[in-house]
């Protein structure tokens, strides 16, 4: 793969940023990250012409790279500060991972498909995005040995809210998770105390399903 980022790509990214801004994304740091990251390099070359449309796209293993607006929406909810410890469930293409790293987060990410895990592990450092840890495993369990986290972001549709994800948040930490089968409601949990969580529902989305652990 030739890793090229050309002026035409930058131009297309500026347009993409204008599009997602018009759809309501306000966080300048998030918009800047999207302006910088060469999304076309995270996609199969056959789809390169579509990389800067505000749409999800197929990647390997029947998965998708999330729609930029959705990535921005979820990231905005996390309110990432530099050096925050963030756990991502569903590494996929690594694009969301890169957005979090661009914001200065220390990123831990779990992917359940071996093929995608292997690809992301090789690819991300090549484009200058080095996560703290990429793990091949089951996101329903979170990452106990690295917990607690300032934020956890789930990038697949969860049929229910896995308990370990709530318990691996710091007090004040946030879980952003699309919940539901078929379609999902974007849900934000803020941990207020040991057993106290604030819950906000933030609109309808459609994700590939979060898969149960392989039997």
**How many whole angstroms separate alpha carbon 158 and alpha carbon 154?**
8
- Find the part of the chain contacting ligand SAH (CB under 6 A) among 30-38, 79-87, 107-115, 178-186: 107-115
Least Å from the CB of residue 41 to ligand SAH: 12
State whether the Cα torsion 169-181-93-30 is positive or negative: negative
Which 180-209 residues touch ligand SAH, going by CB under 6 A? 208
Give the interface size with ligand SAH as a residue count (CB under 6 A).
Answer: 23
How would you classify residue 210: left for phi > 0, otherwise alpha for psi between -120 and 50, otherwise beta? Answer: beta
Which position among 46, 66, 93, 109 bears the catalytic label?
A: 66
Terminal alpha carbon distance of the chain? 34
Of 100 and 169, CB closest to ligand SAH: 100
**Near ligand SAH by CB under 6 A: residue from 38, 131, 139, 178:** 139
**How many whole angstroms separate alpha carbon 16 and alpha carbon 175?**
26
Binding of residue 92 to ligand SAH (CB under 6 A): yes
Which 7-66 residues touch ligand SAH, going by CB under 6 A? 63-66
The contact mask relative to ligand SAH for 114-133 (x = CB under 6 A, - = no) is --x-----------------
**Near ligand SAH by CB under 6 A: residue from 84, 102, 106, 138:** 138
**Pick from 107, 79, 109, 57: nearest CA to 176:** 79
Residue that has been written with the tokens 């990250």 in this structure: 33
* Token pair recorded at residue 211: 């898969």
Which 148-167 residues touch ligand SAH, going by CB under 6 A? 155-156
Contacts of 69 (CB under 8 A, 6+ apart): 19, 20, 23, 25, 54
Give catalytic status of residue 66 as yes or no.
yes
Chain residues in the site for ligand SAH (CB under 6 A): 63-66, 89-90, 92-93, 95-96, 110-113, 116, 138-140, 155-156, 208, 210-211
Please identify every residue annotated as catalytic: 66
């Amino acid at each position: 793969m030739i890793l090229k980022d050309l002026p035409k790509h930058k131009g297309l990214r500026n347009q993409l940023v204008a599009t997602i801004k018009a759809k309501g994304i306000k966080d300048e740091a998030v918009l800047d990250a999207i302006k910088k990251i060469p999304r076309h390099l995270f996609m199969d070359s056959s789809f390169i012409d579509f990389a800067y449309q505000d749409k999800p796209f197929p990647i390997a293993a029947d998965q998708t790279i999330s729609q930029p607006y959705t990535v921005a929406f979820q990231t905005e909810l996390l309110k990432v500060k530099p050096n925050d410890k963030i756990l991502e469930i569903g590494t996929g293409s690594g694009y969301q991972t890169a957005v979090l790293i661009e914001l200065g987060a220390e990123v831990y990410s779990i992917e359940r498909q071996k093929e995608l895990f292997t690809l992301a592990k090789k690819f991300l450092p090549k484009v200058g995005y080095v996560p703290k840890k990429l793990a091949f495993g089951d996101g329903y369990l979170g990452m106990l040995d690295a917990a607690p986290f300032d934020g956890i972001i789930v990038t697949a549709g969860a049929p229910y809210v896995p308990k370990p994800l709530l318990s691996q948040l710091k007090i004040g930490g946030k879980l952003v998770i699309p919940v539901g089968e078929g379609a999902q409601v974007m849900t934000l949990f803020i941990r207020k105390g040991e057993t106290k969580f604030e819950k906000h529902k933030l609109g309808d989305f459609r994700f590939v399903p979060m898969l149960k652990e392989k039997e």
